[in-house]
Amino acid sequence: MTTKQIVEKLQDKRGQSLNVRLVSNVDCLAAHRSNLVQKVTLMTVVSGVSFENRKDIREAIEAGERGEIQPLAWGEWIQFPFVISHKGQDYIRLYLPSQAQQAAGFGKTTVQFICNGQPITRNEAILLCGSKAQARENESGCMTVKADNLAIVE
């Protein structure tokens, strides 16, 4: 799916939840470089909104829990609020469900690892890839993912 096709689908669901599939290669440790490990993430996200307009972000700023919104640390907007370009690569801006949405059971995320075409556990992926395969928290609720790695699940 091209960046243009992704944006067309996102514009139709602007500010609404949508299910996406992210597939990315995970670099293996030197001893295991002959393997191809991929991380496949199925998740519910929101797109087409400005970070500073999210209710949870506005409330955190007002409560003094976080600072004001800063400009992009890298890249430049080529189609706000959807696409950032950096070094010739397009990235799509996505947001995780808010804490209230998550508490209501909205937005379950599943992660699967695949090695050379076969499913493996996260622990097996960690043995092959080290810390790059470990689970990470996303405190900001904001993600910027390579457009090439993204598919919208209908």
List, for residues 74-128, the tens digit of each pLDDT value. 999 999 999 999 999 999 999 988 777 777 777 778 999 999 999 999 999 999 9
Q: What count of residues does the chain have?
A: 154
What does the pLDDT read at residue 37?
Answer: 98
Banded model confidence at residue 21, pLDDT cuts 50, 70, 90? very high
| Number of other residues whose CB lies within 10 A of the CB of residue 63 | 8
Residue 40 vs residue 101, higher pLDDT: 40
Residue with tokens 């370009």: 85
What does the pLDDT read at residue 91?
Answer: 97
What does the pLDDT read at residue 27?
Answer: 97
* Rounded CA separation 123/64 (Å): 38
**What is the domain range of residue 25?**
3-153
What does the pLDDT read at residue 93?
Answer: 95
Banded model confidence at residue 14, pLDDT cuts 50, 70, 90? confident
What does the pLDDT read at residue 136?
Answer: 87
List, for residues 117-136, the tens digit of each pLDDT value. 999 999 999 999 999 999 98
Name the E strands within 10-86: 17-26, 37-46, 76-79, 83-86
What does the pLDDT read at residue 8?
Answer: 92
How many domains would you assign to the chain?
Answer: 1
pTM for this one? 0.86
Mean pLDDT score of the chain, rounded to an integer? Answer: 91
DSSP 100: H
